Amino acid sequence: MATLVEFTVDGDEFPLGALFASLPDVAIELDRIVPTTGSLCPYVWIRGASPAQLEALELAYERGYFDEPRRATLEDLAAGVGITRQSLAGRLRRGHRNLLAGLFGFDRPSEQLSAERH
């Protein structure tokens, strides 16, 4: 089970050490914290997405791949990182799935979920 946690923090430091120390009987796993703006949840815990998947998602977002109409194609993005179109498409699909799995609280990686369906 995954839990999303929202914190309001003043200043530049995120005092997680004090929080962890105050909960000795609780298992806490922190993968990553991502500040977001204009969102109902100012911090989203990203679990399961690989650095390559996150890089592909960020690049696609920044270059307008998700815009309507699109400002970049898969070919454009793939050329920018030096991989094939098919490899980039796979990274985007797996990255989306892993981000959504973390958001909705699924603990199993996307590869395991896919294998169970076949």
Nearest to 3 by CA among 21, 25, 27: 27
Give the helix ranges, DSSP H, for 10-71.
Answer: 16-21, 51-62
Q: What is the pLDDT of residues 47-103, one digit of tens each?
A: 678 889 989 999 999 999 999 999 999 999 999 999 999 999 999 999 998 888 777
Domain ranges of the chain: 1-45, 49-118
What band does 42 get if pLDDT is binned at 50, 70 and 90?
A: very low
pTM across the whole model: 0.56
| 107, two tokens | 């603990």
